[in-house]
Amino acid sequence: MTTPIDKEAERQRLESEVLVDTVRITRPTGTPVLDADTGLLGPVPATTVYEGTGAVLSGHGQVTAQHVLGREWLDDTVSWYRLLTPISAPVPARYDRVEVIAAAGQHAATTGRTWQVLDPSEASTVEIVRVTRLDEITPPG
């Protein structure tokens, strides 16, 4: 016999124990402008879609989260990274940009890196946290 999951308790636990970083999701709104003096393109104009709690997890981070929760809750993916945000956060769109602007862990290597949303958030009839697949576009420096 299976025991039903307490979705609200699991959501609160995930938000308090895993979604401890501050993430920013921006949406490109135009094309970069060429700087005639340097010959370089400027930044891509963008608008902020969400800034708040979240986490960017690599495949290793997903295993760690599973250990904290005591169960497997994310399947394998072709994408090495996933963005986790509260269900109350807006759904990221394909090509949105994701940055970790403040990491809770003192050894976090995510700050200063940028990811692109591969697909809209994964959908499920039972959602505890929003899960979005990412592709890194700014390698670690």
- Return the residue matching tokens 């994310």: 74
**Does a structural domain hold residue 71?**
yes
Structural domains of the chain, count: 1
The pLDDT value recorded for residue 71 is 58
> H helices within 3-120, ranges in order?
7-17, 59-69
Strand partners, 25: 50, 98
**Does a structural domain hold residue 1?**
no
**Does a structural domain hold residue 69?**
yes
Condensed to tens digits (0 to 9), the pLDDT of residues 27-46 reads: 999 999 898 999 998 888 99
CATH classification at residue 25: 2.40.10
**What's the pTM value of the predicted model, to 2 decimals?**
0.77
Per-residue pLDDT of the chain (141 residues), as tens digits, is: 677 788 889 889 989 998 999 999 999 999 998 989 999 988 889 999 999 999 998 865 555 555 566 655 555 444 578 999 999 999 999 999 999 999 888 777 788 789 999 887 777 777 889 999 998 886 555
| Residues of the domain holding 124 | 7-30+43-136
